[in-house]
Structure 1
């Protein structure tokens, strides 16, 4: 594990983009032409750096240990990282809050009996399942990013290399390849959520198992509420008054509706997992911009010949 963290920290330092490079050249009174770099070297070097940078983000987030990386000072994985932990969607949190309110009334308990499960037990299991699934998928994201990076044009590469954006490389990936990344990463996430086992409810389940049971049973409660409303509005002298009284009781407890859940959570999980990857890439990019010389020294064993030539020529020129 320490070896993988070392690779994560070191190879991610290669995402050097060029406010730093450009200012170095300007301080030395040089232009990009003076470095002897060709257009193809710039493109190849930047693409290689981006590929390595995205790989380090993937490796960091796929590490489930939750330990602090000694070089990057980043907590590994999604679940243990408070900034990147994937929480439940808003509609799921509202559903859990609704369940808590329903428990406070007789009418609410009657609705909950339609499900026959203790919803409170599922929150922690679903959060753990989402994050463990994302961690597994992160380790498989490298090829998806590589495919997206291949589509980068020289105009984009030049803008990243000489732009003022301190996270220009990361922003390039996020804004110009999002469709490719989402379409490529979504099946990976979907497979992970259906295959990674977590300890939950006294046994071993996948996230899909836990989520399906939670959503299906909550929607039974939503259906029961809808039927209650229909009965209350029916005008039936035998059944409507009791239904209206139940709705009034629920309203007083803070429940004015019980909306069904969207049972497809893959899109949400894909978006949040990619957010974490982009965040980790951006943090590595910022570190490189702050101290590129130290980054090159630490990453020497992991730089490709092309990337090394581009970066070393620029910094050698600045010292002449």
Structure 2
């Protein structure tokens, strides 16, 4: 059984045909673990892992103090940040960045049910393609099945959050001050759309990290099904 798990989750560098033949032989020798068990275990592991990562991102500073996903200013506003700091408005620039991340943390609270539905709707073929696929196959699957729904869910929350925490006022001040500097090109970016897209990038980045954990760490399993499928590394 250990051979099945290592083949499915660590993905050794052999051809697809060789891998499938080896899996069939391994399963035939361990009839108590079926392909359905493997599919269900993958769903369970993804469900637990995604919920864990979503909780992290929704906490205060889940985005702001996580350098992997922290939202920084869009390229067109980088020069705004620089000029504001040059004229002694560093605190205003810092507050503007903080509020973008606070909006993202607020929005991600909407993500869990969308991911849960995507996992529940995963077919056996989807699961098989994931375990036999590339190291980011699960992330790619979730991105393809949830990105539209997540954007639709995140965007209004981010708009409301930016208004609620006073970000619109702060950014109006920032942009007004910048646009008032002589000879600069005037700007008026859509910060809600920018923040929504960056929030999506951050969510999928954390899911990719969790997928790596699922594929390589076979010891952190705490249910009968996960133990049955994943935690037999002590058996030869």
Q: Give the TM-score category using the shorter length.
A: 0.7 to 0.9
1:27 Cα shift? 8.6
Q: 2:93 aligns with which of 123, 129, 133?
A: 123
Q: Distance in 1 between matches of 2:140 and 2:150?
A: 13
Specify the SS of the correspondent of 2:186. coil
5+ long unaligned stretches in structure 1: 1-15, 67-76, 104-117, 198-205, 226-256
Relative distance call for 1:215 and 1:183 in structure 2 (3 A) is: same
Q: 1:37 aligns with which of 34, 38, 41?
A: 34
Q: Distance in 2 between matches of 1:184 and 1:149?
A: 18
Q: 2:75 aligns with which of 84, 90, 107?
A: 90
Partner of 1:51: 47
Cα RMSD after superposing both structures: 3.7
Q: Is the 8 A contact 1:92 1:261 kept in 2?
A: no
Q: Is the 8 A contact 1:18 1:160 kept in 2?
A: no
Does residue 158 of structure 1 match 2:120?
no
Does residue 79 of structure 1 match 2:76?
no
1:260 Cα shift? 1.8
Q: 1:19 aligns with which of 8, 32, 49?
A: 8
TM-score, normalised via structure 2 length: 0.75
Q: Deviations over 1:114-165 (max 9, x none)?
A: xxxx7544210011111122223233421232234344343322100222x2
Q: 2:113 aligns with which of 135, 138, 143?
A: 143
Relative distance call for 1:150 and 1:133 in structure 2 (3 A) is: same
Q: 1:177 aligns with which of 132, 136, 146?
A: 146
Specify the SS of the correspondent of 1:86. coil
Q: 1:212 aligns with which of 168, 172, 190?
A: 172
Count of residue pairs the alignment pairs up: 224
Q: Distance in 2 between matches of 1:319 and 1:194?
A: 57
TM-score, normalised via structure 1 length: 0.57
Q: Distance in 1 between matches of 2:53 and 2:178?
A: 36
Q: Is the 8 A contact 2:53 2:207 kept in 1?
A: yes
Q: Is the 8 A contact 1:189 1:266 kept in 2?
A: yes
Q: Is the 8 A contact 1:17 1:169 kept in 2?
A: no
